[in-house]
């Protein structure tokens, strides 16, 4: 009789353990199913972007504003094989694209009617060859040509596999397009929106100021500024940022006038920036603007992965913005 009771209790215990394990596995499977709905996309080798829609990708494209500056804009474009070619196709001037950009004040940089004949990427060298139709030469001014070339190069080098871009026209490497900007060799990122004379400085830094925004679109513009520093450095870049843009550039800043740099420390890829506001109180919107301004400027330094900003000794953030502008 006792042995029968022991046997019955043993069977009940085994059944209970089985039910609990089955329930636990179902919960885990449910969690995995929900996790699989989120696709993680790398926009470049330093940041991870979470995109809910599996059919689109967050990609940075370059357009031109009314002052002639190149402006990076994150847009969600259809995900498909050959994403680099699709990205450039979304920069070709058309009535539809101008309508889509109408609220920004920005315009396309690739001439209407241009076709992308082919594109290839050498994984060993990081060189991307892009072959355009002859319509790529339909530009009027030297500035438009400069923005066209730099805009294509900067857009393609947003992809981690691409280091340099070789432009081609109708299957041929040509000396230039319409003006005298040489394109016979692969081009990398260099001197976007250069302000000043190239003879004025020893090194250059990239600083993010504000463009002339409208009611619908408030945007940042990366500009290259010559400095007397022996090499580009964080301290010089932040000093120029806090000083505000040079006069007559059509750029502006909304940083507080009394803001100053108290201390800078860079350790293990993290930049610790301590700002002094002389005790003034700021709204959260003003703090967010400071965070983005500084974060974008410091993101131009490869040795910096994170930014920790302190205002009057209090930490206000610990991250670098993913994109300058979104629309």
Q: What is the pTM of this model?
A: 0.79
Which value, in Å, is the radius of gyration of the alpha carbons in the chain?
A: 26
d(CA 38, CA 6): 49
Task: Say whether pLDDT at 36 is over 60.
Answer: no
Closest CA to 327 of 155, 100, 95, 156: 100
Q: Is a pLDDT exceeding 70 seen at residue 25?
A: no
- Beginning with the edge strand found earlier in the chain, give each strand of the sheet holding 314-317 in spatial order: 260-267, 270-276, 306-311, 314-317
Confidence check: pLDDT of 7 > 80: no
- What torsion, rounded to 10 degrees, do the Cα atoms 242, 246, 188, 74 define? 70
Give the separation between CA 153 and CA 162, rounded to whole angstroms: 9
Encode pLDDT of 148-192 as tens digits. Answer: 999 999 999 999 999 999 999 999 999 999 998 999 999 999 999
Q: In the chain, what are the domain boundaries? A: 1-37, 43-169, 203-317
Q: How many CB atoms within 10 Å of residue 16?
A: 10
Task: Identify which of 49, 41, 70 has the alpha carbon closest to the alpha carbon of residue 154.
Answer: 70
* Structure confidence at residue 209 as a pLDDT band (50, 70, 90): very high
Q: Is the model more confident about 246 or about 12?
A: 246
CA dist 208 and 307 (Å) reads 15
- β-strands 306-311, 314-317 pairing: antiparallel
Residue 182 backbone zone (phi > 0: left; psi -120 to 50: alpha; other: beta): beta
Kindly report, residue by residue over 101-120, the tens digit of the pLDDT: 998 999 999 999 999 999 99
pLDDT of residue 28: 38
What is the Cα–Cα distance from 319 to 46, expressed in whole angstroms? 12
Residues sharing a CB contact under 8 Å with residue 99, sequence separation 6 or more, in sequence order: none
Distance CA 268, CA 303 (A): 9
DSSP state of 267: E
Give 136's DSSP letter: G
For 291-317, write each residue's pLDDT tens digit.
899 999 999 999 998 899 998 888 887
Q: Where are the alpha helices (DSSP H) in 179-268?
A: 234-243
- Higher-pLDDT residue of 71 and 13 is 71
């Amino acid at each position: 009789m006792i042995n029968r009771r022991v046997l019955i209790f043993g069977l009940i215990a085994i059944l209970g353990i089985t039910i609990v394990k089955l329930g636990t596995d179902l919960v885990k499977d449910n969690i995995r199913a929900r996790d699989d709905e989120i696709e993680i996309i790398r926009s470049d080798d330093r940041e991870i972007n979470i995109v809910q829609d599996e059919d689109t990708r967050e990609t940075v494209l370059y357009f031109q504003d009314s002052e002639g500056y190149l402006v990076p804009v994150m847009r969600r474009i259809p995900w498909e094989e050959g994403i680099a070619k699709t990205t450039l196709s979304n920069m070709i001037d058309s009535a539809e694209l101008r309508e889509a950009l109408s609220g920004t004040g920005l315009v396309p940089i690739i001439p209407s009617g241009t076709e992308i004949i082919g594109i290839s990427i050498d994984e060993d060298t990081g060189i991307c060859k892009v072959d355009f139709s002859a319509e790529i030469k339909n530009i009027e001014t030297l500035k438009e040509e400069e923005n066209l070339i730099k805009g294509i190069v900067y857009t393609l080098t947003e992809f981690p596999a691409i280091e340099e871009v070789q432009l081609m026209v109708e299957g041929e490497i040509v000396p230039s397009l319409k003006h005298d900007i040489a394109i016979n060799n692969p081009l990398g990122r260099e001197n976007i929106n250069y302000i000043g004379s190239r003879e004025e400085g020893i090194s250059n830094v990239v600083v993010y100021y504000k463009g002339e925004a409208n009611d619908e679109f408030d945007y940042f513009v990366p500009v290259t500024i010559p400095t007397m520093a022996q090499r580009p450095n964080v301290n010089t870049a932040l000093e120029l940022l806090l000083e505000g843009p040079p006069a007559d550039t059509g750029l502006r800043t909304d940083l507080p006038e009394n803001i100053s740099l108290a201390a800078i420390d860079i350790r293990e890829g993290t930049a610790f920036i301590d700002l002094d506001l002389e005790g003034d109180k700021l709204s959260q919107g003003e703090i967010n603007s400071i965070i983005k301004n500084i974060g974008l400027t410091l993101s131009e330094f490869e040795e910096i992965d994170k930014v920790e900003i302190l205002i009057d000794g209090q930490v206000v953030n610990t991250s670098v913005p993913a994109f300058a502008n979104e629309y």
